[in-house]
């Protein structure tokens, strides 16, 4: 039996040029997670 869990995360802080998005993409792939990333109007 499988179940679906939904989460909405907002990550804040200075992560520019730190490789954060690539790291999160790799972790999500390893955990077989699906989703997307976007920048908000307040640049978070």
Catalytic positions are: 21, 39
Token digits of residue 34: 């699906």
Between CA 6 and CA 34 the distance in angstroms is 10
Beta carbons within 8 Å of 12's beta carbon, 6+ residues apart: 44
């Amino acid at each position: 039996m499988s179940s679906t869990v939904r989460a909405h995360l907002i990550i804040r802080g200075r992560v520019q040029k730190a490789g954060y998005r690539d790291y999160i993409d790799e972790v999500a792939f390893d955990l077989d997670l699906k989703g997307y990333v976007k920048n908000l109007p307040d640049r978070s």
